[in-house]
Amino acid sequence: MEEAAGDQFSQVYSLNESKEDNRDVSLASVGLLLPCEIFFEILSWLPVKNLVRCKCVCKQWYKLIEDRTFIVKHLSRTKAVTVYFEDKVESLDVDGTIVQEKFKIMSMFAGLIVEKGKTSSKYRLRNFTTQEILYLPNPHEDTYIISSHYNLSGEIKLVSVYGDENINSSEGFALEGFEVLNLDRR
């Protein structure tokens, strides 16, 4: 089998050599000959910024990079980095004036950041590398904490716990309920 692949490579290379314009072997023709496992291994070491570009090479690379197994492998090789930044979101008020909303980081997990508006109860999920932002539905108005969970199947759960801080209890917080938001990482 390996010998047949080598013969195909030689044939493709010799066909390209015989052309008058002396083109090199195209990446696409070589890509057909290399096993997917090799691409998987090479791409899993690249920084996310480069992976975003690689998704545009072909459908096979796009599917490979979006695959949950690949994402888990890539995350296992990624160094943990703590990043702090403030983001301003501009929106128009009813009278047309620009209102800037600042967000603060609540938690980080699996390459994603949960942020809360400093002046509102808006929450959002940010992929820091790709700069994609997903605004989350407004949680219960008395939300005390939002917790996040990510499992290897790619499912993300955000749990908001709400209650009344004013009620006298031994812990200073009386739990009234919780809401769970399920997201798929795709």
pLDDT value of residue 125: 84
pLDDT value of residue 138: 79
Distance CA 57, CA 53 (A): 8
| Tokens of residue 46, six digits | 């690249």
- Residue ranges of the chain whose pLDDT lies below 70: 1-32, 78-100, 129, 143-150, 152-154, 164-174, 185-186
pLDDT value of residue 169: 54
pLDDT value of residue 129: 67
Q: Is residue 131 classed as helix, strand or coil in its secondary structure? A: coil
State the residue for tokens 């692949």.
Answer: 5
User: What is the spatial order of strands in the sheet that 123-127 belongs to?
Assistant: 87-92, 98-109, 112-117, 123-127, 132-135
Segments making up each domain of the chain, as ranges? 2-77, 87-184
pLDDT value of residue 111: 74
pLDDT value of residue 2: 44
